[in-house]
Amino acid sequence: MFTLEPAAVLRDVTLRDGLQLTGGMLSTERKLATIRSLLALGVESLEIGSMARPDLVPPMANTLEVLAELTPAERARCWVWVATPRHVERAAAAGARNFQYCFSATDAHNQANIGRTTEASLAAMPAAVEISRDVDGQIQLCIATSFTCPFDGQVDPSRVVQIAQDERAVGASHVVICDTLGQAVPAQVSSLITRVRLETPAREIVFHGHDTWGLGVANTLAAISAGATMVDGALGGLGGCPFAPGASGNTASEDILFATRPPWLTPDVFGSLVRISETLLMELGEPNRSKAAQGARSPAKAFDWVL
């Protein structure tokens, strides 16, 4: 099966980062069906929504309704994007136990995305950590624009390391390093992930990549080799940030899975995943950017992974 070692868990972010740029609206029932289909196939982790204002990001409007309908076992494998202690409180009341507390390495993007400075977001994190602990949950420190900012350009890696070292983020279970614009290259990703692993408090490292410049899979593999234990992807390469000019879709989940070959991924399971992705993208009117999904439709039938 050629499983990649070291291994990393895929977190599929289709229903959060995947939907937010498209404007595609999915009902609560449709989101629940997608979540349950992916979990049943073996996808270990999902990001299923956001507490962002629904007037600014309409596809996230029913996140609380989705959370309320999930079982505790399903919620244990699902993450919710949050940016304030109040977000954590509201999501927790609906049953969430896994929170991704996100802000940007640069003030310019944080102001555009969240409406406050990076320092203000960091200052509020201890309260968010405390709320997550009160419900026996876990919270991630998510650093957007870790490599480049659409307004300020290149980000100094030491800035990212400094945020990850900050004592106010000590309660985070993971640190998420985000290539929000998809402009990083593998050596750059490897260098920053290594620095975070060696120079900041011990915790799991997540890599969130985009495929804007065609290096999504290469950057993901570089992150895993450098120590990331979870990586993000979206079905068909869907998504992007509505507040980051130049951002395109996420690295495709199908491409990451085909490259890493986790033990649960068989050719039959991969085929089911491709079909789920194709159906969803057709409903949303979005193109399928996954190279592996395109390969699965190849006429070269002798290859086990072709449908």
Helices (H), 53-117: 63-69, 72-75, 85-93, 107-113
Q: Does residue 287 have a cis bond before it (omega within 30 degrees)?
A: no
As given in the structure block, the two tokens for residue 120 are 């203000």
CB 253, CB 234: distance < 8 Å: yes
Question: What's the CA gap between 34 and 120, in Å, rounded?
Answer: 35
- Cα distances (angstroms) measured from residue 182 to each of 82, 138, 160, 303: 22, 27, 16, 31
Give the residue carrying structure tokens 């349950």: 36
Going along the chain, which residue ranges are E strands? 9-12, 45-50, 78-82, 98-104, 138-144, 148-149, 153-154, 174-178, 204-208, 230-233
Question: What's the CA gap between 250 and 238, in Å, rounded?
Answer: 6
Q: How far is CA 125 from the centre of its chain?
A: 19
- Cα distances (angstroms) measured from residue 62 to each of 15, 16, 41, 150, 276: 11, 11, 24, 29, 21
- Which burial class, exposed, middle or buried, applies to 2 when counting CB atoms under 10 A from its CB (0-12, 13-18, 19+)? exposed
Residues labelled catalytic: 241
3-state secondary structure of 30: helix
Give the residue carrying structure tokens 């895929």: 10
Residue type, 23: G
